[in-house]
Copies of this chain bind each other. A is one copy, B any other.
Amino acid sequence: MTRQQLIEHIFTKKTFLCVGLDTDIKKIPQHLLGNDDPIFDFNKAIIDATAKYCIAYKPNLAFYECMGTKGLSAFERTVEYLKETYPDHLIIADAKRGDIGNTSAMYARTFFDGYDIDALTVAPYMGEDSVTPFLEYENKWVILLALTSNKGSHDFQLTTDQDGERLFEKVIRKSQAWGTPDNMMYVVGATQGKMFQDIRMLAPDHFLLVPGVGAQGGSLQEVCKYGMTDDCGLIVNSSRGIIYASGDTDFAQVAAIKAMELQREMATELDKVNK
């Protein structure tokens, strides 16, 4: 998916919501557990219920790997279903990969060639040659961890170097020599509030993938106030707040309501942008 297509979808549908498919067999409604593939069935119901309120889906690989080949198969079926049924939705594999060059190239092949997924989250610690193999695929996206939503983000990401630059700023600055706003985004946690201003100083045009609204306590309004651009520039993810809003047979309907509520807030924010 190109940047232009992404922007069009956002302004047409008036949403920049990403639904996180962190599907945990221990948390899905009991009535699904007798099915052959409860993880896929859960995802399919969530997707069908929420597709009109969002522009992206983000399965986190941890939740699928946890179930071995069965989990991986559910992941593959979910991706296939999305591509067939909702081809305009961006598919983000949240895998936080990153390794030496020849190994990152294998991961890139897996996600971009094999699964033909649109975007992959990548960890920056190992530097340029761990990231660039992912950037060699046309119309695919690297989403580089910059300033994450968790408490541990303070341990290293905020460390200030001798030139006064914080690590997450250095990651954003240096990585702009590797990719462009057309093939690279950054992960910035919704819990980081005013830090979005600092990030927009460095990356005025890049899309930001923003987890942490909902269960983790981030505010959508604050993210938009400090992070939104004329192109929107934001993809805001909610996982647990949508997919586990009800643990009963009405889980998909309740997920739709939660997604719709976020979509309406997002429409209000988008109306502030002159597009």
Using a CB–CB cutoff of 8 Å, the interface residues on chain A facing chain B are: 22, 24, 60, 62-63, 65-66, 68-69, 72-73, 76, 94, 96-101, 103-104, 106-107, 109-110, 114, 123-131, 145, 148-157, 159-162, 167, 170-171, 174, 211, 216
Distance in angstroms from A163 CB to nearest chain B CB is: 9
- A100-B107 Cα distance, complex, nearest whole Å: 21
Does A68 contact B76, Cβ atoms closer than 8 Å? Answer: yes
Does B100 contact A150, Cβ atoms closer than 8 Å? Answer: yes
Q: Which residues of B contact A97 (CB under 8 A)?
A: 62, 96
Q: Which residues of B contact A101 (CB under 8 A)?
A: 150
Does B98 contact A123, Cβ atoms closer than 8 Å? Answer: yes
Give A125's nearest chain B residue, CB to CB: B125
- A159-B76 Cα distance, complex, nearest whole Å: 39
Q: Which residues of B contact A152 (CB under 8 A)?
A: 126-131
Does A127 contact B100, Cβ atoms closer than 8 Å? Answer: no
Does A155 contact B174, Cβ atoms closer than 8 Å? Answer: yes
Q: Which residues of B contact A24 (CB under 8 A)?
A: 106
Give A153's nearest chain B residue, CB to CB: B127
Q: Which residues of B contact A211 (CB under 8 A)?
A: 100
Q: Which residues of B contact A174 (CB under 8 A)?
A: 155-156
Does B170 contact A151, Cβ atoms closer than 8 Å? Answer: no
Does A129 contact B151, Cβ atoms closer than 8 Å? Answer: yes
Does B127 contact A125, Cβ atoms closer than 8 Å? Answer: no
Give A216's nearest chain B residue, CB to CB: B100
Pick from B103, B128, B154, B156: contact of A151, CB below 8 A. B128
Does A63 contact B150, Cβ atoms closer than 8 Å? Answer: no
Does A110 contact B148, Cβ atoms closer than 8 Å? Answer: no
Q: Which residues of B contact A73 (CB under 8 A)?
A: 69
- A2-B169 Cα distance, complex, nearest whole Å: 40
